[in-house]
Structure 1
Protein backbone atom coordinates (compact mmCIF):
# COMPACT_ATOMS: atom_id res chain seq x y z
CA UNK A 1 0.00 0.00 0.00
CA UNK A 2 2.90 2.35 0.76
CA UNK A 3 4.15 1.85 -2.82
CA UNK A 4 0.75 2.81 -4.22
CA UNK A 5 0.61 5.98 -2.18
CA UNK A 6 4.17 6.92 -3.14
CA UNK A 7 3.31 6.23 -6.80
CA UNK A 8 0.24 8.47 -6.55
CA UNK A 9 2.34 11.24 -5.00
CA UNK A 10 4.91 10.96 -7.80
CA UNK A 11 2.19 10.98 -10.49
CA UNK A 12 0.63 14.05 -8.89
CA UNK A 13 4.04 15.75 -8.86
CA UNK A 14 4.67 14.90 -12.51
CA UNK A 15 1.28 16.22 -13.56
CA UNK A 16 1.80 19.41 -11.56
CA UNK A 17 5.28 19.84 -13.07
CA UNK A 18 3.90 19.86 -16.59
CA UNK A 19 1.43 22.64 -15.98
CA UNK A 20 2.20 26.27 -16.59
CA UNK A 21 -0.09 28.55 -14.66
CA UNK A 22 -0.64 31.79 -16.55
CA UNK A 23 -2.45 35.06 -16.09
CA UNK A 24 -2.63 38.36 -17.91
CA UNK A 25 -3.44 41.98 -17.34
CA UNK A 26 -3.88 44.71 -19.92
CA UNK A 27 -4.91 48.31 -20.42
CA UNK A 28 -8.62 48.36 -21.14
CA UNK A 29 -9.55 50.21 -24.30
CA UNK A 30 -6.27 49.38 -26.05
CA UNK A 31 -6.68 48.46 -29.73
CA UNK A 32 -4.11 45.67 -30.05
CA UNK A 33 -4.71 45.51 -33.83
CA UNK A 34 -2.61 48.69 -34.14
CA UNK A 35 0.55 46.82 -33.12
CA UNK A 36 2.48 44.96 -35.82
CA UNK A 37 6.18 45.37 -34.99
CA UNK A 38 8.28 44.80 -31.88
CA UNK A 39 11.74 45.15 -30.40
CA UNK A 40 13.21 44.39 -27.00
CA UNK A 41 13.35 46.97 -24.23
CA UNK A 42 17.10 46.73 -23.64
CA UNK A 43 17.08 48.17 -20.12
CA UNK A 44 14.44 45.67 -18.99
CA UNK A 45 16.24 42.72 -20.57
CA UNK A 46 19.59 43.78 -19.09
CA UNK A 47 18.09 44.04 -15.58
CA UNK A 48 16.57 40.53 -15.62
CA UNK A 49 18.26 38.60 -12.81
CA UNK A 50 19.01 35.40 -14.73
CA UNK A 51 21.96 33.96 -16.63
CA UNK A 52 22.72 35.13 -20.16
CA UNK A 53 21.92 31.60 -21.37
CA UNK A 54 18.45 31.73 -19.84
CA UNK A 55 17.87 35.22 -21.28
CA UNK A 56 18.74 33.94 -24.75
CA UNK A 57 16.37 30.99 -24.32
CA UNK A 58 13.53 33.29 -23.31
CA UNK A 59 14.18 35.82 -26.10
CA UNK A 60 14.36 33.06 -28.76
CA UNK A 61 11.06 31.65 -27.51
CA UNK A 62 9.47 35.12 -27.56
CA UNK A 63 10.75 35.68 -31.13
CA UNK A 64 9.19 32.37 -32.21
CA UNK A 65 5.81 33.16 -30.66
CA UNK A 66 5.69 36.80 -31.82
CA UNK A 67 6.58 35.73 -35.37
CA UNK A 68 3.83 33.09 -35.26
CA UNK A 69 1.39 35.86 -34.32
CA UNK A 70 2.44 37.91 -37.36
CA UNK A 71 4.69 40.40 -35.58
CA UNK A 72 7.90 41.58 -37.22
CA UNK A 73 11.05 42.64 -35.37
CA UNK A 74 11.84 46.28 -36.17
CA UNK A 75 14.24 49.13 -35.43
CA UNK A 76 11.15 51.37 -35.22
CA UNK A 77 8.75 49.16 -33.24
CA UNK A 78 5.14 49.65 -32.20
CA UNK A 79 5.72 47.55 -29.08
CA UNK A 80 8.69 47.08 -26.76
CA UNK A 81 9.04 43.70 -25.05
CA UNK A 82 10.53 43.46 -21.59
CA UNK A 83 10.93 40.54 -19.19
CA UNK A 84 11.23 40.12 -15.45
CA UNK A 85 11.93 36.86 -13.66
CA UNK A 86 11.60 35.54 -10.16
CA UNK A 87 11.67 32.16 -8.46
CA UNK A 88 10.44 30.61 -5.26
CA UNK A 89 10.53 27.27 -3.56
CA UNK A 90 7.29 25.32 -3.82
CA UNK A 91 6.52 22.78 -1.11
CA UNK A 92 3.89 20.10 -1.70
CA UNK A 93 2.85 17.92 1.22
CA UNK A 94 1.01 14.69 0.54
CA UNK A 95 -0.77 13.25 3.58
CA UNK A 96 -0.42 9.47 3.73
CA UNK A 97 -2.67 8.91 6.75
CA UNK A 98 -5.31 6.54 5.48
CA UNK A 99 -7.47 3.60 6.35
CA UNK A 100 -10.75 2.71 7.93
CA UNK A 101 -12.43 -0.25 9.51
CA UNK A 102 -13.42 -1.60 12.90
CA UNK A 103 -11.35 -3.27 15.58
CA UNK A 104 -11.86 -6.68 17.13
CA UNK A 105 -12.74 -7.60 20.69
CA UNK A 106 -12.80 -5.19 23.59
CA UNK A 107 -12.94 -1.54 22.69
CA UNK A 108 -13.33 -1.89 18.89
CA UNK A 109 -12.69 1.40 17.22
CA UNK A 110 -11.36 3.03 14.12
CA UNK A 111 -8.34 1.46 12.43
CA UNK A 112 -5.71 3.74 10.93
CA UNK A 113 -2.39 3.19 9.25
CA UNK A 114 -0.24 6.23 9.91
CA UNK A 115 2.50 6.17 7.28
CA UNK A 116 3.38 9.85 7.55
CA UNK A 117 3.63 12.57 4.93
CA UNK A 118 5.62 12.97 1.74
CA UNK A 119 7.13 16.42 1.30
CA UNK A 120 8.29 17.38 -2.17
CA UNK A 121 10.23 20.61 -2.76
CA UNK A 122 10.64 22.10 -6.21
CA UNK A 123 11.84 25.43 -7.56
CA UNK A 124 9.14 27.35 -9.35
CA UNK A 125 10.11 30.01 -11.86
CA UNK A 126 7.99 33.07 -12.59
CA UNK A 127 8.30 34.85 -15.93
CA UNK A 128 6.71 38.22 -16.62
CA UNK A 129 6.47 39.37 -20.23
CA UNK A 130 5.61 43.06 -20.54
CA UNK A 131 4.51 44.74 -23.76
CA UNK A 132 4.99 48.50 -23.78
CA UNK A 133 3.56 50.95 -26.29
CA UNK A 134 6.77 52.29 -27.86
CA UNK A 135 5.41 55.78 -28.60
CA UNK A 136 3.54 56.40 -25.34
CA UNK A 137 6.04 54.47 -23.18
CA UNK A 138 3.09 52.87 -21.35
CA UNK A 139 2.58 49.27 -20.32
CA UNK A 140 -0.28 47.87 -22.41
CA UNK A 141 -0.12 44.14 -21.62
CA UNK A 142 1.51 41.84 -19.09
CA UNK A 143 1.55 38.07 -19.11
CA UNK A 144 2.77 35.98 -16.20
CA UNK A 145 3.69 32.31 -16.22
CA UNK A 146 4.60 30.12 -13.24
CA UNK A 147 6.07 26.66 -13.61
CA UNK A 148 8.61 24.32 -12.10
CA UNK A 149 12.09 24.70 -13.51
CA UNK A 150 14.31 22.11 -15.15
CA UNK A 151 18.02 21.49 -14.70
CA UNK A 152 19.53 20.17 -17.96
CA UNK A 153 20.12 22.54 -20.89
CA UNK A 154 17.85 20.53 -23.21
CA UNK A 155 15.03 20.45 -20.68
CA UNK A 156 15.51 24.16 -19.96
CA UNK A 157 14.99 24.98 -23.65
CA UNK A 158 11.90 22.77 -23.79
CA UNK A 159 10.44 24.24 -20.59
CA UNK A 160 11.22 27.84 -21.57
CA UNK A 161 9.48 27.37 -24.93
CA UNK A 162 6.46 25.88 -23.17
CA UNK A 163 6.23 28.71 -20.61
CA UNK A 164 6.58 31.50 -23.20
CA UNK A 165 4.08 29.82 -25.53
CA UNK A 166 1.49 29.52 -22.75
CA UNK A 167 1.98 33.13 -21.67
CA UNK A 168 1.75 34.56 -25.19
CA UNK A 169 -1.21 32.33 -26.04
CA UNK A 170 -3.21 34.99 -24.14
CA UNK A 171 -1.96 37.81 -26.37
CA UNK A 172 -3.63 39.73 -27.84
CA UNK A 173 -6.40 39.59 -25.28
CA UNK A 174 -9.79 38.57 -26.58
CA UNK A 175 -12.48 41.11 -25.75
CA UNK A 176 -15.29 39.78 -23.54
CA UNK A 177 -18.69 39.83 -25.14
Structure 2
Protein backbone atom coordinates (compact mmCIF):
# COMPACT_ATOMS: atom_id res chain seq x y z
CA UNK A 1 0.00 0.00 0.00
CA UNK A 2 2.68 2.48 1.00
CA UNK A 3 4.64 1.56 -2.09
CA UNK A 4 1.75 2.63 -4.25
CA UNK A 5 1.75 6.03 -2.54
CA UNK A 6 5.31 6.67 -3.64
CA UNK A 7 4.54 5.74 -7.23
CA UNK A 8 2.30 8.73 -7.85
CA UNK A 9 3.36 10.88 -10.77
CA UNK A 10 3.00 14.05 -8.73
CA UNK A 11 3.90 12.41 -5.43
CA UNK A 12 1.81 12.16 -2.31
CA UNK A 13 0.56 15.13 -0.31
CA UNK A 14 2.80 15.36 2.77
CA UNK A 15 1.67 17.08 5.96
CA UNK A 16 3.16 17.29 9.44
CA UNK A 17 2.24 18.84 12.74
CA UNK A 18 3.76 18.90 16.19
CA UNK A 19 3.20 20.16 19.70
CA UNK A 20 4.85 23.59 19.56
CA UNK A 21 5.02 23.83 23.37
CA UNK A 22 7.04 20.61 23.59
CA UNK A 23 10.81 20.66 24.21
CA UNK A 24 12.25 18.32 21.56
CA UNK A 25 15.81 18.86 22.79
CA UNK A 26 15.19 16.39 25.64
CA UNK A 27 14.80 13.41 23.26
CA UNK A 28 17.84 11.32 22.46
CA UNK A 29 16.50 7.79 21.89
CA UNK A 30 13.60 6.18 20.07
CA UNK A 31 11.93 2.79 19.85
CA UNK A 32 8.82 1.28 18.32
CA UNK A 33 5.46 0.56 19.95
CA UNK A 34 4.82 -3.12 20.66
CA UNK A 35 2.07 -3.45 18.02
CA UNK A 36 2.19 -0.79 15.30
CA UNK A 37 -0.97 0.01 13.38
CA UNK A 38 0.11 -2.07 10.38
CA UNK A 39 0.13 -5.34 12.38
CA UNK A 40 -3.53 -6.26 12.66
CA UNK A 41 -3.17 -10.01 12.26
CA UNK A 42 -0.92 -10.64 15.28
CA UNK A 43 2.38 -10.96 13.39
CA UNK A 44 4.88 -8.51 11.94
CA UNK A 45 4.10 -7.90 8.26
CA UNK A 46 6.60 -7.10 5.53
CA UNK A 47 5.18 -3.58 5.40
CA UNK A 48 5.94 -3.18 9.12
CA UNK A 49 9.48 -4.46 8.62
CA UNK A 50 10.09 -2.07 5.71
CA UNK A 51 8.62 0.86 7.66
CA UNK A 52 10.73 0.12 10.75
CA UNK A 53 13.90 -0.02 8.65
CA UNK A 54 13.10 3.25 6.84
CA UNK A 55 12.08 5.08 10.03
CA UNK A 56 15.13 3.84 11.91
CA UNK A 57 17.35 5.16 9.10
CA UNK A 58 15.62 8.59 9.18
CA UNK A 59 15.73 8.91 12.98
CA UNK A 60 19.38 7.81 13.13
CA UNK A 61 20.27 10.37 10.44
CA UNK A 62 18.82 13.03 12.77
CA UNK A 63 21.06 11.94 15.65
CA UNK A 64 18.65 9.72 17.59
CA UNK A 65 19.77 6.34 18.91
CA UNK A 66 17.58 3.26 18.71
CA UNK A 67 16.71 1.79 22.11
CA UNK A 68 14.41 -1.17 22.64
CA UNK A 69 14.42 -0.51 26.40
CA UNK A 70 12.84 2.71 27.75
CA UNK A 71 13.29 5.05 24.74
CA UNK A 72 12.45 8.75 24.96
CA UNK A 73 10.24 8.57 21.86
CA UNK A 74 7.98 5.76 20.74
CA UNK A 75 7.23 5.45 17.02
CA UNK A 76 3.89 4.18 15.76
CA UNK A 77 2.63 4.08 12.19
CA UNK A 78 -0.47 3.10 10.28
CA UNK A 79 -1.32 2.60 6.62
CA UNK A 80 -4.81 2.70 5.16
CA UNK A 81 -6.38 2.24 1.73
CA UNK A 82 -9.74 3.63 0.64
CA UNK A 83 -11.58 3.39 -2.67
CA UNK A 84 -12.56 6.79 -4.07
CA UNK A 85 -14.98 7.60 -6.87
CA UNK A 86 -14.58 10.92 -8.63
CA UNK A 87 -17.20 12.24 -11.00
CA UNK A 88 -16.62 15.42 -12.93
CA UNK A 89 -19.79 16.98 -14.33
CA UNK A 90 -19.94 17.75 -18.04
CA UNK A 91 -19.11 21.25 -19.15
CA UNK A 92 -22.16 23.38 -19.76
CA UNK A 93 -22.58 25.18 -23.08
CA UNK A 94 -22.35 28.96 -22.96
CA UNK A 95 -25.59 30.79 -22.11
CA UNK A 96 -27.83 31.21 -25.14
CA UNK A 97 -25.90 28.64 -27.18
CA UNK A 98 -28.07 26.84 -29.69
CA UNK A 99 -25.40 25.87 -32.16
CA UNK A 100 -24.95 26.56 -35.87
CA UNK A 101 -28.58 25.77 -36.74
CA UNK A 102 -30.07 28.08 -34.09
CA UNK A 103 -32.15 29.88 -36.70
CA UNK A 104 -34.24 26.71 -37.14
CA UNK A 105 -35.54 26.94 -33.60
CA UNK A 106 -33.65 24.05 -32.10
CA UNK A 107 -34.62 21.50 -34.72
CA UNK A 108 -30.98 20.47 -34.98
CA UNK A 109 -29.98 21.29 -31.40
CA UNK A 110 -28.42 18.44 -29.50
CA UNK A 111 -30.80 16.43 -27.36
CA UNK A 112 -30.13 16.39 -23.61
CA UNK A 113 -26.77 14.85 -22.90
CA UNK A 114 -25.68 14.73 -26.51
CA UNK A 115 -22.07 15.83 -26.78
CA UNK A 116 -21.84 16.45 -23.08
CA UNK A 117 -20.70 13.67 -20.77
CA UNK A 118 -19.27 13.34 -17.32
CA UNK A 119 -16.02 11.62 -16.45
CA UNK A 120 -16.23 9.14 -13.62
CA UNK A 121 -13.30 7.13 -12.41
CA UNK A 122 -12.32 5.08 -9.39
CA UNK A 123 -8.95 5.06 -7.70
CA UNK A 124 -7.38 3.89 -4.46
CA UNK A 125 -6.30 6.57 -2.00
CA UNK A 126 -3.56 5.58 0.43
CA UNK A 127 -2.65 7.25 3.72
CA UNK A 128 0.46 6.63 5.82
CA UNK A 129 0.69 8.13 9.32
CA UNK A 130 3.89 8.19 11.37
CA UNK A 131 3.51 9.23 15.00
CA UNK A 132 6.22 10.13 17.52
CA UNK A 133 5.01 9.75 21.10
CA UNK A 134 6.67 11.02 24.27
CA UNK A 135 7.16 7.66 26.02
CA UNK A 136 7.23 9.10 29.53
CA UNK A 137 3.99 11.11 29.17
CA UNK A 138 2.38 8.77 26.60
CA UNK A 139 1.50 11.82 24.48
CA UNK A 140 1.74 12.44 20.74
CA UNK A 141 4.38 15.11 20.02
CA UNK A 142 4.80 14.88 16.21
CA UNK A 143 2.79 13.43 13.34
CA UNK A 144 3.70 13.06 9.67
CA UNK A 145 1.13 12.05 7.05
CA UNK A 146 1.46 11.08 3.38
CA UNK A 147 -1.71 10.84 1.32
CA UNK A 148 -2.14 10.18 -2.37
CA UNK A 149 -3.19 7.97 -5.23
CA UNK A 150 -2.16 4.40 -4.45
CA UNK A 151 -3.77 2.73 -7.45
CA UNK A 152 -0.68 1.37 -9.13
CA UNK A 153 2.05 -0.68 -7.56
CA UNK A 154 5.02 -2.80 -8.45
CA UNK A 155 5.26 -5.37 -5.63
CA UNK A 156 8.95 -5.89 -6.46
CA UNK A 157 9.69 -2.27 -5.51
CA UNK A 158 7.78 -2.05 -2.21
CA UNK A 159 10.80 -1.50 0.01
CA UNK A 160 12.27 1.27 -2.18
CA UNK A 161 8.88 2.99 -2.43
CA UNK A 162 8.39 2.85 1.35
CA UNK A 163 11.89 4.29 1.84
CA UNK A 164 10.98 7.17 -0.50
CA UNK A 165 7.67 8.02 1.21
CA UNK A 166 9.16 7.81 4.72
CA UNK A 167 12.01 10.09 3.62
CA UNK A 168 9.49 12.61 2.22
CA UNK A 169 7.57 12.57 5.49
CA UNK A 170 10.70 13.08 7.60
CA UNK A 171 11.73 16.06 5.47
CA UNK A 172 8.93 17.78 7.45
CA UNK A 173 10.54 16.82 10.80
CA UNK A 174 12.45 19.95 11.91
CA UNK A 175 14.31 18.54 14.94
CA UNK A 176 17.60 16.80 15.65
CA UNK A 177 18.75 14.95 18.75
CA UNK A 178 21.15 16.96 20.91
CA UNK A 179 24.78 15.77 20.84
What CA distance in whole angstroms lies between the structure 2 residues aligned with 1:99 and 1:16? 33
Give a deviation string over 1:10-61, Cα, whole Å, max 9, x none: xxxxx96532112223223112122222111113357457971111222222
Higher helix share: 1
What CA distance in whole angstroms lies between the structure 1 residues aligned with 2:139 and 2:159? 30
Query: CA distance change for structure 1 residues 21 and 134 in 2, over 3 Å: closer, same or farther?
Result: same
Query: CA distance change for structure 1 residues 98 and 69 in 2, over 3 Å: closer, same or farther?
Result: farther
Which residue of structure 2 lines up, in the alignment, with residue 68 of structure 1?
61
Query: CA distance change for structure 1 residues 103 and 168 in 2, over 3 Å: closer, same or farther?
Result: same
Higher strand share: 1
Query: CA distance change for structure 1 residues 99 and 47 in 2, over 3 Å: closer, same or farther?
Result: same
Q: Whose relative contact order is higher, 1 or 2, with alpha carbons under 8 Å and at least 6 apart?
A: 2
Q: How many pairs align?
A: 159
Quick check: 1:48–1:83 contact (8 Å CA) kept in 2?
A: no
Which residue of structure 2 lines up, in the alignment, with residue 7 of structure 1?
none
Which residue of structure 2 lines up, in the alignment, with residue 121 of structure 1?
122
Q: Secondary structure at the match of 1:63?
A: helix
Structure 1 position 37 matched with structure 2 position 35: no
Q: Secondary structure at the match of 1:77?
A: coil
What CA distance in whole angstroms lies between the structure 2 residues aligned with 1:164 and 1:153? 17
Which residue of structure 2 lines up, in the alignment, with residue 92 of structure 1?
86
Query: CA distance change for structure 1 residues 94 and 103 in 2, over 3 Å: closer, same or farther?
Result: same
Q: Secondary structure at the match of 1:44?
A: coil
Unaligned runs of 5+ in 1: 1-14
TM-score by length of 2: 0.70
What CA distance in whole angstroms lies between the structure 2 residues aligned with 1:169 and 1:80? 19
Query: CA distance change for structure 1 residues 169 and 152 in 2, over 3 Å: closer, same or farther?
Result: same
Larger radius of gyration: 2
TM-score by length of 1: 0.70
Q: How does 1:11-160 map to 2 (within 5 A)?
A: 17-44=9-36, 47-48=39-40, 52-75=45-68, 76-95=70-89, 97=91, 102-104=99-101, 105-107=103-105, 114=115, 116-149=117-150, 150-160=152-162
Give 1:110 shift. Answer: 7.8
